[in-house]
Structure 1
């Protein structure tokens, strides 16, 4: 009979293998696609990544350097050794048709890193993992820790809200944000793959620099701009432009976007507003990708849900107890005792990785009783419900949850 300790060790081993394979493929893909690298730099990085892959696969499962290079353009799961469940790596591409590293590959890398980091903290025997990127806190956790150490609920709320609402901007404006100095240091230069001839475009949904690529279309060069977060791009944060022959600012043209949803989903659906204007790279910065992806992106539905419920007369607290969980909603008929709803909001590309993280943490250690996902992750609810049920947690998409608590309060969500 296999013991729980053996199962835990096997699980940690599989998570580590998936992480190292994804990390090796992602770093190698970035080395291949990033402009400006000298050939020897590309080769050195590829060889280092090939070595990382061999360490993950083990000595009995070799993969030649040529096979590794070829595999970067195919299914990521093919790089895993036999016996390791690929989960969401199956069918995942690291490099897309534009020769750019895919958004989902970045997401999976960060999500697996967070899961492995959590497992290592919970399991003292996991200290054998020596990959240097796992020896330090990821940016997102470090920023939270720095805000938490202030020991002031109002300071925490103000700082975290600023990271969500202002993930990029002019340096002079960013200096006015309510952030401790060390947290402000996470604002960095505009990413090179979000620049074109000294210009960049903020996503109309999240305000972070959008990705820019150039494509050949019927012999003509066309610029394509889209948010790095695929759901935002799918909502309409996706544009085209004609590259200019001088230093003037390029102008975006909209691509066809889906119709705005009706019913309860319309309440939280973002308003994209006007077409984004080009912003000069000089004098502007943006938060690091980790903070944007796991503070700004999930923070948007947190704040949106907070705002809409407060507008409807419900009592809601943001990140109570210095982020024990995300929202405390109190709902019930007038003059009746209110029922508290303790909510954690998560936005993971990989539902399987999030499920494993919930399991590793035995639910939510902060005391959340509800797990809420953005409406565009609604398909994850059945899988997550099966996991969360073991820990007396319930799962809902954001609009479903908003409608439910409004009904209990006797007010209309729509």
Structure 2
């Protein structure tokens, strides 16, 4: 990455960070007295990043643009072809699903001293995601053996939401204490305060707005409309179109008591549950197929998966990454190099991101999940033929 690329990447992530902080402040402006100061402060940061070649925006103008246009419309020269330019920060007067899916992965620290937002803004709006991720992982690692870590790490991926008593029982069955915090169901995840729906892919509560229901992670392609039934029956969902998988059944919301409806917090969902789905899927596909051995999160997540066939003296260690921007990911890896030298991207990220990331990180091998499956299948066949 050239110096010019690094400068542009920094401008891009600063602009994303400032607009997300502004968007969050706008969302809570009626409940949080300090929000207006944050809106003013972040408007100043945005205008500074855009520079003198742009007409300065007022807070009202910037909020309007963030609600109607993706970021590349506001600063086309900053984003160019970067996928993060497709992020629209505000939707329905709230932080958009674009932010939850992709924007939050490109946060940088904007204000080091005198940052008034740190007393009330959620940490994911101002801390780099790897720091938030590390904080979430800390509770999984304390006092854990390698085997304990895997059990703890799998638990929130497989149980991201449910009834508090049931979550406790499932922890007991697994022989662990709850490895992460479970919090009451957020209001925007409930329909009329009575029902909620888990995403068919990640099983975290989907977002509800009027009669629209959808997972905040757009690539899970879970978007529905509510159709109410007569006779006091729970409402059912209708898929947005025929590409959307079968709709989940409604679950009752319990506001309190042992059956209280709870879910993992947003950072745990975004940084542990979402990528963990891909990691677990890959692990489960190949585990139990001798002579292949498969390790999940070896050495307490030094990397994600290790494939090995001893008799071929072959091993493949991988780190799976699922973010929208190749340049933002390359920046992160430059700051904190990976132990595994093979980076794997989910197939939905596409070959264009693979090619871009490979150019940015020539010391690593970049593969898609499909490539890994093909390599492992070929090596497994080779080992079985040699027997």
TM-score (norm 2): 0.80
In structure 1, the partner of 2:302 is: 324
> Does the aligned pair in 2 maintain the 1:21–1:79 contact within 8 Å?
no
> Does the aligned pair in 2 maintain the 1:206–1:296 contact within 8 Å?
yes
Q: Quick check: 1:387 aligned with 2:360?
A: yes
Secondary structure at the aligned position of 1:202 is classed as coil
In structure 1, the partner of 2:257 is: none
Q: Quick check: 1:289 aligned with 2:289?
A: no
Q: How far, CA to CA, are the matches of 1:287 and 1:319 in structure 2?
A: 21
Q: Quick check: 1:26 aligned with 2:23?
A: yes
Q: Quick check: 1:63 aligned with 2:57?
A: yes
Question: Structure 1 unaligned runs (5+)?
Answer: 32-36, 121-125, 215-222, 260-271
Aligned length, in residue pairs: 357
Secondary structure at the aligned position of 1:368 is classed as coil
Q: How far, CA to CA, are the matches of 1:231 and 1:181 in structure 2?
A: 31
Residue 102 of structure 1 and its aligned partner are, at CA, apart by 2.5
**Superposed counterparts of 1:228-239, under 5 Å:** 228-233=216-221, 237-239=222-224
Residue 17 of structure 1 and its aligned partner are, at CA, apart by 2.2
> Does the aligned pair in 2 maintain the 1:103–1:228 contact within 8 Å?
yes
Q: How far, CA to CA, are the matches of 1:109 and 1:85 in structure 2?
A: 13
Match of 2:250 among 268, 278, 284: 278
Question: Structure 2 unaligned runs (5+)?
Answer: 255-259
Q: How far, CA to CA, are the matches of 2:36 and 2:288 in structure 1?
A: 53
In structure 2, the partner of 1:213 is: 209
Residue 355 of structure 1 and its aligned partner are, at CA, apart by 2.4
Secondary structure at the aligned position of 2:14 is classed as helix
Residue 101 of structure 1 and its aligned partner are, at CA, apart by 3.5
In structure 1, the partner of 2:195 is: 199
Q: Quick check: 1:242 aligned with 2:237?
A: no
Residue 52 of structure 1 and its aligned partner are, at CA, apart by 2.0
Residue 172 of structure 1 and its aligned partner are, at CA, apart by 0.9
Q: How far, CA to CA, are the matches of 1:395 and 1:331 in structure 2?
A: 21
* Post-superposition CA distance 1:53-81 (Å, at most 9, x none): 3135439764223322322222324556x
Q: CA distance change for structure 1 residues 284 and 54 in 2, over 3 Å: closer, same or farther? A: same
Q: CA distance change for structure 1 residues 360 and 140 in 2, over 3 Å: closer, same or farther? A: closer
Q: How far, CA to CA, are the matches of 2:184 and 2:231 in structure 1?
A: 23
> Does the aligned pair in 2 maintain the 1:355–1:384 contact within 8 Å?
yes
Secondary structure at the aligned position of 1:349 is classed as coil
Residue 383 of structure 1 and its aligned partner are, at CA, apart by 1.1
> Does the aligned pair in 1 maintain the 2:39–2:59 contact within 8 Å?
no
> Does the aligned pair in 1 maintain the 2:22–2:38 contact within 8 Å?
no
Residue 128 of structure 1 and its aligned partner are, at CA, apart by 5.5
> Does the aligned pair in 2 maintain the 1:187–1:286 contact within 8 Å?
yes
